Amino acid sequence: MFERLAEARVALKEVVASIDPDILEGSRATELVDEFAAIERLAAAGKALCARRVADSGAWRHYGDRSAARWMARTTGTSVGSALGVLETAERVADFPATETALCSGELS
């Protein structure tokens, strides 16, 4: 699983590096925006689910942070408030399997 994710990241990096917005057709650009939005939703879902596990397991303590939210904020480069929101949402969806499935399939933003 981890190797596939690393490979996907490399492939995505190569795709982004190959984009020349100055010569890209407008219609093709709209398609790419749609694809990147779908990727963004899936990445956010994966981040939230894994962050929930980091919080539940206490793994964040190994990095010297005072809370799971502070660990996540530092790790992801976001604010503590934003990280806390992600963690709270991830915790709540655990109680709703259909919602969690929709999140994991990229249907929710």
Block means of pLDDT (10 residues each) for the chain, length 109 residues? 94 98 96 97 95 97 97 98 96 93 87
Token digits for 22? 């100055």
> Looking at the domain assignment, is residue 87 inside a domain?
yes
Task: Look at residue 109 and tell me if it is in a domain.
Answer: no
Return the pLDDT at 8: 96
Q: Which domain holds residue 84?
A: 2-104
Number of domains in the chain: 1
What pLDDT, on a 0 to 100 scale, did the predictor assign at position 44? Answer: 95
Q: Is residue 17 one of the residues assigned to a domain?
A: yes
Is residue 23, in this structure, part of any structural domain at all? yes
Write down the pLDDT at residue 93: 94
**Inside any domain, residue 18:** yes
How much of the chain is in helix, strand and coil states, percent to nearest 5?
80, 0, 20
